[in-house]
Structure 1
């Protein structure tokens, strides 16, 4: 079984922090893109006719920039080509695109059963400062409309450590988010990625961000408030009521298989990690000739697989299973990482329950530093 990620690169506006593959939608060949996206799916699945798809995630960019007719075309293709009858089917959406019912109705009729809404903040001044074009009041209407359309599995994203953001400001966004009484929330610390407006401003000394202590306080506030509201932290940045954990993202964190469709998408099947062309025309050109738009294949060596098993698994509440590691790699965790595990336990960054290694509460705050300890410098074989 595998997951499927589908990338829609079009946006009505480019946010200042975003480094995902995206383009401003005006003048873009959107209809042709959707048609070629379905062609790519047919070409790939012809080589994997027996692969069962258990989750589908449509991300971006902004998938909700598609018209209702294009949403219907895409959803119909997902069911027909991927033989996807039931399972978690997520669509990312901008709040402004949910102010009327047409797109929501198209998603619902197309079998979409989970929405992830990009909110980021409930402060209008901060939303403007980070390049978002919606305003906080719009979120309330978007969520109400989603519920009216029949969506129960709803999630929103929040970002902390934003320019001009105080701890109290983020707390206010947390409270407003939780007041919506949704089953799932994601909250991320701002990362300054290259080729973004914020990264360039930082290089110029023109970006003022909260310091590390305030950032840690914001993260602690999120953990505490989510727990108090019944949302379990099942991954470093994700919180859900029991039964509403994002199954597609869990598939990533469990280092399982997934297909990637669309411009700039990545897939990971077997030991093959592949990457599609990012620029729209470079993605479309081979598909017009019925060829796959893959720019690169990377055969992942066993050392890299082990590293990712640790990095990704430790992000989750359940952690890394010793038995699963041994079954997958025919080597025990102690044989590969014995000294590292012991040192991290002594530093109270790692703990163990039954056969699972997990981060401690302190370890969650030092996740990247912990993960770096699992890099393998020399080949094992």
Structure 2
């Protein structure tokens, strides 16, 4: 996977593992991911369930299952005790072989990692830390419902470096109600000064059912307008690239060689295994999702069943669309030769005239064997992607 030229390893299961830890100290106001308030009893049940699910997925056998990437996400995985995190890592190593150059990521809130926990993680083989910084000003952090300060982000980065982490990502959000372009630029400069190896900078998504969306609908907050959000995106590109982080995906910036290999699995539309409550998997052209509710998750495992809530086959049409949609998010673009080998046809065969029309509009450009978004196309990506949506059957 290092050269991103293939999706699959020689495993019965995919070589890319995601583990969902569904606990937080407090849920953020914008978050619609599955998470519950942390408590020790549920954490112990979760660990037992995780061991049971991975045992079912692997048949209890370890041989031949090599992992190229591991991503422990949430929730806030580091709200677990150090002992609980070590148990998760132990379960992984009992059932899988880790590639010598495995990328092993854990997500963390800056307020949930101390020197001892970071040292323990690094010694256990975790080699990539993803910190949810999100913002620098106290006002914007409070609007988002974050429970840490920017000073804690600075301290977490410093301690992670001392622990030996040489691959650190910082997540940022722009377009937050009340956030100004000047504040955002100041934050980008402060983040760049920390010399992260990777930055993910996303525009705020207002999800139904979240407290932040309710506050905006109720008139308590005013949403960021589209022109201001576009200005903030352009500032992110300018400042982060100026700091030596090149944009390799619409919202992701990295130093050369520090691209997130696990996320590239998703963007190349490869297969992966997800375990834990609410985790999604894509295996053998079938997508599935686990039960979100911890009780239901545990009930199915107790009955000797995989804790799957739903699954659906991925049709050839949808696989093609997803491959185009995700591939065009990458700065390198969609590799047309890989597309032909994967599907046995050309993009023109599937979408006659679409790419040519978008090239004429200045939204796409051909670069060797790749089709990629232009600068204008990057800023209007949703309009470009809509041109490739497969027709629905009436």
| TM interval, short-chain normalised | over 0.9
Deviation at 1:4, TM superposition (A): 0.6
Structure 1 residues 273-312: aligned runs within 5 Å? 273-312=287-326
Aligned to 2:58: 45
> What is the SS of the residue equivalent to 2:54?
helix
8 Å CA contact 2:279, 2:290 repeated in 1: yes
Aligned to 2:103: 88
- Asked if residue 345 in structure 1 is aligned to residue 370 in structure 2, the reply is no
| Unpaired stretches in structure 1, ≥5 consecutive residues | none
8 Å CA contact 2:216, 2:223 repeated in 1: no
1:312 and 1:298 mapped to 2: Cα distance? Answer: 19
Aligned to 2:3: none
Aligned to 2:233: 219
Aligned to 2:26: 13
Structure 1 residues 142-181: aligned runs within 5 Å? 142-181=156-195
**Alignment coverage as a number of residue pairs:** 378
8 Å CA contact 1:22, 1:61 repeated in 2: yes
2:217 and 2:224 mapped to 1: Cα distance? Answer: 16
Deviation at 1:286, TM superposition (A): 1.4
Between 1:326-335 and 1:50-59, the stretch displaced more is 50-59
1:345/1:85 CA distance change after superposition, 3 Å: closer
Deviation at 1:289, TM superposition (A): 2.9
Aligned to 1:317: 331
1:367 and 1:104 mapped to 2: Cα distance? Answer: 38
1:43 and 1:64 mapped to 2: Cα distance? Answer: 26
- Asked if residue 195 in structure 1 is aligned to residue 209 in structure 2, the reply is yes
> What is the SS of the residue equivalent to 1:118?
strand
- From 360, 372, 381, the counterpart of 1:367: 381
8 Å CA contact 1:160, 1:170 repeated in 2: yes
2:277 and 2:244 mapped to 1: Cα distance? Answer: 38
Deviation at 1:209, TM superposition (A): 2.1
- From 37, 40, 43, the counterpart of 1:24: 37
Q: CA RMSD in A?
A: 1.5
8 Å CA contact 2:64, 2:97 repeated in 1: no
8 Å CA contact 1:71, 1:103 repeated in 2: no
- Asked if residue 230 in structure 1 is aligned to residue 244 in structure 2, the reply is yes
| Unpaired stretches in structure 2, ≥5 consecutive residues | 1-8, 10-14
Between 1:34-43 and 1:201-210, the stretch displaced more is 201-210
> What is the SS of the residue equivalent to 1:255?
coil
8 Å CA contact 2:200, 2:252 repeated in 1: yes
Write the deviation string for residues 200-228 of structure 1: whole angstroms up to 9, x where unpaired: 22322332122111111100000011111
TM-score, normalised via structure 2 length: 0.93
Aligned to 1:251: 265
TM-score, normalised via structure 1 length: 0.96
1:129 and 1:328 mapped to 2: Cα distance? Answer: 45
- Asked if residue 35 in structure 1 is aligned to residue 53 in structure 2, the reply is no
Between 1:50-59 and 1:216-225, the stretch displaced more is 50-59
Write the deviation string for residues 226-276 of structure 1: whole angstroms up to 9, x where unpaired: 111111100001000100000000010000110010100100012011110
Deviation at 1:347, TM superposition (A): 1.2
